[in-house]
Structure 1
Amino acid sequence: MKKITALLFLQLLLISCSGTISTTKKEYAITNSSALKSDWIIDSQKWSLDNNTITGSGSPSKWGILVSKKQLPENYEIDFKVNMTRESLFEIMLHLDKEKYIRTYLYQIDQNIVIGEGTYYKNDDSYGKRGGKTLFKKPMNLENNKTYAVKIKVTENQLHFSVDGQTSLECSLEKSGLSQKGKLGFITNGDVQITDLKIKTL
């Protein structure tokens, strides 16, 4: 009995000290405001959690940015629903490492979902210090005040990004020269609502 108790304690200790946002056989979800504040860095503007809804606010000149404090696992799946209630851009930052990351985003102005190379300088909102170039894109009708289901899956350095289970993009991180490790973040240039966020290790 003592051995079983010690083993369970060790597993809990390893999970709590893990450097990744989710752990083996464990699914991560934000369940309360304290988790949002303790597990994430609110780099600019305002982010809050209420009734399982993460609300973010930014502006075209100063994007609202939320970044996880922990690394994404090597192989993972991210699921959530998003509603852009104001302005045109919602972006999921993947593998943020120093100033570089993978851009996976919904862009209403061009009516596309996109995978691209991103640059993010924490204390600089000037042109060229946020965002980056497009590598892959696919047309999709996008509008405000509509909820979209987003799924991102990374396995064996292969990235799959889909919206509503219909429009999708896929690429090899290695062949595309994209970052293969780093943190997760979200960006908005207006107002956005994120619900049912789940991140699990594969």
Structure 2
Amino acid sequence: MKIKYSLLLVVSLIITSCCSTISTTKKEYKITETTPLKSNWNFNSKEWFLEKDTLTGTGGPMHWGVIESKKKLPENYEIDFKLNMTEESLFEVMLNIDKDQYIRTYLYQIDQNIVIGKGVYKKNSDEYGKRGGPTLFKKAIKLENNKWYSVKIRVSNQQLFFSVDNETFLECSLEKSNLSQKGKLGFLTNGEAKVIDLKIKNIQ
């Protein structure tokens, strides 16, 4: 009986590790102390770290701190988390990272907007034009440092929905806006940002 249980456990671990997406239809992905960060994410440990259940990122105006998932996002997914921009002005959720291209979904204090844009991210380069990209859609919102915001992002049938505190909403068609339709997930900051209660789930 013990041998059967051990085999079942090993097989389930192999299936989980070989899965190409960060979450499955049966299980959502969460960041917790019990989840080894390095097994699921690529990052510089001087820029991103997990303490208890809080993911903290640091960067600067000339060098943005980036963390990128090792596995792809599902075709249809939902991402929920709480965010606190403790320093500086920019926090970005990088969606569908595919080679150098991705979808920019971000909160920007200087302009006091949430934004959907078309992004480019050249690893190991801080040159102008090799990170960030043009704004496609934006909505005004009052943003402050040291305040928690609830962020929800949903991609379903090529339609992107982005909301903050269930009050400020943006949406667009990935196909009509010529945005990446598949790829990995990332987070980016130009200061210090804290993320808690991160949940990523596959939706039908």
The bucket for the TM-score relative to the shorter chain is over 0.9
**CA displacement at 1:111 relative to structure 2:** 0.3
- Root mean square deviation of aligned Cα: 2.1
The alignment status of 1:187 with 2:196, answered yes or no, reads no
The alignment status of 1:125 with 2:126, answered yes or no, reads yes
The amino acid across from 1:183 in the alignment is K
Unaligned runs of 5+ in 2: none
The alignment status of 1:56 with 2:53, answered yes or no, reads no
TM-score in terms of structure 2 length = 0.92
Residue deviations 1:111-137 (CA, integer Å, cap 9, x gap): 000000000000110111110000000
TM-score in terms of structure 1 length = 0.93
Report how many residues are paired.
201
Instruction: Call closer, same or farther: CA 1:174–1:184 in 2, change over 3 Å.
Output: same
The amino acid across from 2:192 in the alignment is D
> SS at 2:68's partner residue?
strand
Instruction: Call closer, same or farther: CA 1:11–1:45 in 2, change over 3 Å.
Output: closer
> SS at 1:38's partner residue?
helix
Map 1:131-142; keep pairs closer than 5 Å: 131-142=132-143
Identity of aligned residues (%): 65
Query: Which aligned runs of 4 or more in structure 1 are off by greater than 2 angstroms?
Result: 3-16
The amino acid across from 2:19 in the alignment is S
Residue deviations 1:155-178 (CA, integer Å, cap 9, x gap): 111100000000010111011100
- Residue 165 of structure 2: aligned partner: 164
The amino acid across from 1:178 in the alignment is L
Residue deviations 1:38-87 (CA, integer Å, cap 9, x gap): 21111585111112000110000000000001100001100000000000
**CA displacement at 1:9 relative to structure 2:** 6.4
The amino acid across from 1:109 in the alignment is I
**CA displacement at 1:98 relative to structure 2:** 0.6
